Amino acid sequence: MRKMPEDKVHKITSVTCTAPVNIAVIKYWGKRDEDLILPINSSLSVTLDQDQLKTTTTAACSRSFKEDRIWLNGKEEDINQPRLQSCLRELRRLARKRRSDGDSSTDVLSYSHKIHICSVNNFPTAAGLASSAAGYACLVYTLSQLLGVEGELSEVARQGSGSACRSMYGGFVQWRMGEQEDGKDSVAEQVEAESHWQELRVLILVVSAERKPVGSTAGMQTSVETSPLLKHRADSLVPGRMEDMINAIRQCDFAAFGELTMKAIVAYTFDAGPNAVIYTLQQHMAEFLQVVMQFFPPETNGGQFLKGLPVSPVTLSEELKSSIGMDPLPKGIRYIISTKPGPGPRLVDDPSLHLLGPDGLPKKTA
């Protein structure tokens, strides 16, 4: 038996890549298939510049490695996690297929080697900054480079974390929900490159770098189970908004981009003073008010905090509260006046309400 030279035994092939965070402006929320991660609606995001936010991943393979291993942000994690396994399995399958199709550009059978993966984020993990999107996009991209796999890879990234498919492209990216059961048509594609809209800027206001108490997967399941509006949004609202958003981006129309991003159920304005005036529709009033009262709780006398038209109390879901995540500010708002559009000036007939008395001077009570 021929003895392998020392350096051949230990040869390690490694590759390092970075991948970006993306922030959706039309959100993905709700799955139609949990295993393949197929969404109930298309979505659209902006890929952020990696100079500020990125995942870096090194993947190495070697005949000498005994098992697949992964380190995330300096700590070894369980490689057997199902979504991680989906990505590894799929990329090895593609590498094998490529080899059997006659492509010999990869000179080692690296898909048969064990792989070590090491990944770090330069931003808070799991605080709702799409760390899993950047993470899985980086994993898939790095493995594809290591294994010599090319072509459409957003479908593989999607199986790690849904929104990861959008981090496979720069600029403005849509994730088409697709229709097929196998998810082959549920892929990301670039709408415009990052160079298209030079003036667009992004600020992230980090209020907490803590790991969020409810993960997105659990949050989505709760929403699918409890919200009758979610299906309506997915089926009736999102298709039109996707089209409008793509047009807004193509035309660099910030007003339309902003409106579609916020798609507000309330509108606010200030009238040359510090008090916010909120316009909303009756059906959103109770929940919005409860959110305001949750985060700006009455300081002393709860009964006097809400003046004007009564609003029925509602219970906020834990998901909604945790997704807002700010600490309550008891001094933020002194009180709230609840009102609606009304008529113009009018005459007061009741003499007891007149402000001047029979002597033509202000009544004592005025």
* CA 275 – CA 269 distance, rounded (Å): 9
Which residues 327-356 are close enough to bind a copy of itself by CB under 8 A?
327, 329, 331-348, 353-356
Identify which range of 93-101, 134-142, 176-184, 227-235 contacts a copy of itself by CB under 8 A: 134-142
Identify which range of 33-41, 84-92, 96-104, 163-171 contacts a copy of itself by CB under 8 A: 163-171
Please pick, from the candidates 267, 316, 318, 328, the single residue that binds a copy of itself as defined by CB under 8 A: 267
Q: Which is nearer to a copy of itself, 64 or 112 (CB)?
A: 64
58 belongs to the binding site for a copy of itself (CB under 8 A) = yes
Closest CB 204 distance from a copy of itself, rounded Å: 4
Neighbours of 15 (CB within 10 A): 16
Please pick, from the candidates 38, 46, 95, 191, the single residue that binds a copy of itself as defined by CB under 8 A: 46
Q: Which is nearer to a copy of itself, 32 or 278 (CB)?
A: 278
* CA 168 – CA 89 distance, rounded (Å): 19
71 belongs to the binding site for a copy of itself (CB under 8 A) = yes
Closest CB 124 distance from a copy of itself, rounded Å: 8
> Rg (Cα) of the chain, in Å, rounded?
28
Q: What six digits make up the tokens of 88?
A: 């590894």
Residues in the chain: 366
Q: Is the sign of the CA dihedral 248, 253, 256, 258 positive or negative?
A: positive
Please pick, from the candidates 4, 109, 264, 316, the single residue that binds a copy of itself as defined by CB under 8 A: 264
* CA 276 – CA 263 distance, rounded (Å): 19
Identify which range of 43-51, 91-99, 176-184, 228-236 contacts a copy of itself by CB under 8 A: 43-51
Q: Is the sign of the CA dihedral 264, 269, 274, 275 positive or negative?
A: negative
Closest CB 179 distance from a copy of itself, rounded Å: 25
216 belongs to the binding site for a copy of itself (CB under 8 A) = yes
- Per the CB < 8 A criterion, the answer to whether 23 and 202 are in contact is yes
Identify which range of 35-43, 91-99, 101-109, 303-311 contacts a copy of itself by CB under 8 A: 303-311
Applying CB under 8 A, the site for a copy of itself has a residue count of 140
Identify which range of 11-19, 34-42, 79-87, 89-97 contacts a copy of itself by CB under 8 A: 11-19
- Per the CB < 8 A criterion, the answer to whether 120 and 73 are in contact is yes
Which residues 169-188 are close enough to bind a copy of itself by CB under 8 A?
169-172
Closest listed residue to residue 252, CA positions, set 5, 56, 30, 46:
46
Please pick, from the candidates 68, 77, 189, 194, the single residue that binds a copy of itself as defined by CB under 8 A: 194
- Per the CB < 8 A criterion, the answer to whether 178 and 50 are in contact is no
282 belongs to the binding site for a copy of itself (CB under 8 A) = yes
What Å distances lie between residue 7 and 3, 16, 63, 69, CA to CA?
A: 12, 21, 12, 22
Block residue for tokens 């985060």: 295
